[in-house]
Amino acid sequence: MAQRRPTRQVTLGSDHHGYVKIGGDAPVSVQTMTSGYTYDIDTCVAEINKLAAGGADLVRVAVPEKKDTDALKEIIPQVKVPIVADVHFHFQRALDAIEAGVHKIRLNPGNISDRKQVEAVIEACKDKGVPIRIGVNEGSIIERRDKQKRMKELGGVFSNNKHGHFLAIMIAKLEEYLDIFYEKDFYDIVISAKSPDPNLCIAAYTEISKRFDHPLHLGVTHAGPRETGSIRSVVPLGHLLASGIGDTVRISYANDPIFEVEDALEMLYCLELRERKGVDLIACPTCGRIQVDLFTLVQDVRKVLAEEIQLPIKVAVMGCIVNGPGEAEGADVAIFAGDRRGIIYVQGQRVANVKEEEILEALLAECKKFEAKVLAG
């Protein structure tokens, strides 16, 4: 893992909602976005609470209409996680959201570019200490009628990169936009440069990280359903994070956003960029030696341990003992299945040999004992 790129740090939140730091030495934060209508207050509050309970550090909501920013006034006091307003097209929605007490604003230079309007939002954010994310997503930053001309003008700068034209436009747009903020002496800025193309994401964030010291919000936009979107997202995001780039992440699926939070957290745990909460589960893929229903067992173990164990203990579920405990080396608690039986090891020592139907209960008991031992010091 490369050292994390030094960035400025922005802070958002409140005493009631907690504070989240993005950039600098802050842990990489996880964010997501609600999928329902913001004006549907009770549903929105319930979804935000569910996402926060699932591990989201901040939650973004869409505010396309006045009724959405009006709803924010009631939503924000009812939730306990910082809220980000996603603003497009109407700068007045940003002003309304700030007035309603939102903790961060997302602006799209592609659809709010009028200097006076941007300045008004900056002034309001400055007044309330609200940071702004500038999202220069591919697709939303290029006006179709100008596209060919601008690509021709700017493409030469990045001519050695396959995505050079898009990169050139993104960087130019970003520089133009940032000038407005700098002139207003406003630096509480987070930058994102999302695209559905994983290679373009890597190229764009890498380039931006060389040029600006603002924290980066990583994401692959429109990644698709979870089944394919997880790979489309985690490949570039994991690459960037392992290269030291990225300060907050959002994975986006065409699915319940709770999965975005779960997968983003797992990615950060795997990269050791966040301290794991709960069990670290490994399991074998099974093969022709298997003599128990391991797939069901793994799912059951995952569910039960997620509910019962809080510490990040490492648990291995192995289909057989063909390679001995070495296969699960490093696991605190391991189960090796045999002929309709399971042999349990704790820190490499064999502690039990139980029937297949007793495996789950016995494994849970050993995990609880191990957790209690760790807690007792």
Q: Does 285 bind ligand SF4 (CB under 6 A)?
A: yes
**Among 319, 332, 342, 367, which residue sits at the site for ligand SF4 (rule: CB under 6 A)?**
319
Residue 289 CB, nearest distance to ligand SF4 (Å)?
A: 4
Q: Does 286 bind ligand SF4 (CB under 6 A)?
A: yes
Structure token pair of residue 7? 């960035």
Total residues at interface with ligand SF4 (CB under 6 A) = 11
**Among 81, 98, 130, 284, which residue sits at the site for ligand SF4 (rule: CB under 6 A)?**
284
Residues in the annotated binding site = 284, 287, 320, 327
Residue placing its CB nearer to ligand SF4 in the complex, 271 or 290: 290
Give the footprint of ligand SF4 on residues 34-53 (CB under 6 A): none
Residue 262 CB, nearest distance to ligand SF4 (Å)?
A: 25
Residue placing its CB nearer to ligand SF4 in the complex, 2 or 287: 287
Q: How far apart are CA 257 and CA 230, in angstroms?
A: 12
- Of 40-48, 71-79, 162-170, 320-328, which segment contacts ligand SF4 by CB under 6 A? 320-328
- Of 2-10, 167-175, 313-321, 344-352, which segment contacts ligand SF4 by CB under 6 A? 313-321
Q: Which amino acid belongs to residue 354?
A: V
Q: What is the CB neighbour count within 10 angstroms for residue 187? A: 13
Q: Does 317 bind ligand SF4 (CB under 6 A)?
A: no
Q: Does 326 bind ligand SF4 (CB under 6 A)?
A: no
Q: Does 320 bind ligand SF4 (CB under 6 A)?
A: yes
Residues in the annotated binding site for [4Fe-4S] cluster = 284, 287, 320, 327
CB burial string 294-317: b at 16+ within 10 A, e below: beebbebbbebbeeebebebbbbb
Q: Does 318 bind ligand SF4 (CB under 6 A)?
A: yes
Q: Does 190 bind ligand SF4 (CB under 6 A)?
A: no
Closest CA relative to residue 80, chosen from 20, 131, 22, 21:
20
Q: Does 335 bind ligand SF4 (CB under 6 A)?
A: no
Q: How far apart are CA 292 and CA 342, in angstroms?
A: 9
- Of 45-53, 182-190, 193-201, 278-286, which segment contacts ligand SF4 by CB under 6 A? 278-286
Structure token pair of residue 122? 């900056």
Residue 307 CB, nearest distance to ligand SF4 (Å)?
A: 25
Q: How do strand 248-250 and strand 217-219 relate by DSSP bridges?
A: parallel
Residue 321 CB, nearest distance to ligand SF4 (Å)?
A: 7
Q: Does 298 bind ligand SF4 (CB under 6 A)?
A: no
Residue placing its CB nearer to ligand SF4 in the complex, 207 or 332: 332
248 DSSP β-pair partners: 29, 217
Residue 292 CB, nearest distance to ligand SF4 (Å)?
A: 9
Give the footprint of ligand SF4 on residues 56-75 (CB under 6 A): none
Residue 288 CB, nearest distance to ligand SF4 (Å)?
A: 7
- Catalog residues that contact ligand SF4 under the rule CB under 6 A: 284-287, 289-290, 318-320, 322, 327
